[in-house]
Amino acid sequence: MLTVGDKFPAFKLTAVKGGKEGLLGPGKSFTEITETTDAGKWKVVFFWPKDFTFICPTEIAAFGKLNGEFSDRDTVLYGASTDSEFVHLNWRVYNEDIRNLEIPMLADTKRELSEALGILDKNEGVPLRATFIVDPEGTIQWAAVNGLNVGRNPQEVLRVLDALQTDELCPCNWEKGKDVLKPQELFEKAA
């Protein structure tokens, strides 16, 4: 699996647009997204195993509810699975939890991005619950992965993004607005 310090792979995927545009129907609801889309911004790219399942919409909806907070941090959210854009669209139309989703749903149908990232489950052949925070230069700054049966915490992804964007030393359980570590000050106090 690619990890911190690795370049996020180049990709070109069809996606269902976020918001109301994503509910206009085939042809009008789709867009192409590449690694250069939203250039100069931080990106959070998260994968789920399969559409029309039970844990996945809880995570997708939770990320969607935080979209404004990520946006406030100059960060875009991309959600992805190996299902097609048509399946994503149908799922949005018929699932109340994600119908009004404001983020694009990427279709990695050829599994090229999932394979390049090294996140396909060895037994099921679907993406693990992997999450990547990618800086504006395209370098992975944080990577986390859960198995197929455990949902992740989007609030923790936001907390880690806040810490990364400080470019400072952040202690355990640090939250935005709290003090960061200043090693020089600690040495001066000890002297």
* Cβ contacts of 149-158, under 8 Å, gap ≥ 24: 149/55, 150/55, 151/55, 151/58, 151/59, 152/46, 152/59, 154/59, 154/62, 154/63, 154/65, 154/66, 155/66, 157/44, 157/46, 157/63, 157/131, 157/133, 158/66, 158/69, 158/70, 158/73
User: For 77-98, what is the mean pLDDT?
Assistant: 97
* Residue 125, phi then psi, degrees to nearest 5: 75, 15
pLDDT tops 80 at residue 184: no
C-alpha dist (Å) from residue 101 to 47, 123, 139: 15, 30, 26
Element (H, E) at 79: strand 75-81
Closest to 128 measured CA to CA, from 76, 50, 61? 50
pTM given for the model: 0.95
Q: What is the pLDDT of residue 179?
A: 92
Of all residues in the chain, what percent carry a pLDDT higher than 90?
A: 93
* Residue 184 vs residue 102, higher pLDDT: 102
Q: Respond yes or no: is residue 56 known to be catalytic.
A: yes
- To 10 degrees, what angle do helices 154-166 and 56-65 make? 40
Which amino acid is present at 90?
N
DSSP annotation of 23? G
User: For 104-129, what is the mean pLDDT?
Assistant: 98
Average pLDDT, the chain: 95
Please identify which residue in the block is written with the tokens 């100059």: 74
* Residue 162, phi then psi, degrees to nearest 5: -55, -45
Q: What is the pLDDT of residue 187?
A: 67
Catalytic residue among 56, 106, 130, 133: 56
Helix, strand or coil for residue 161? Answer: helix
Helix, strand or coil for residue 7? Answer: strand
Residues 6/139, Cβ–Cβ less than 8 Å = yes
pLDDT tops 90 at residue 190: no
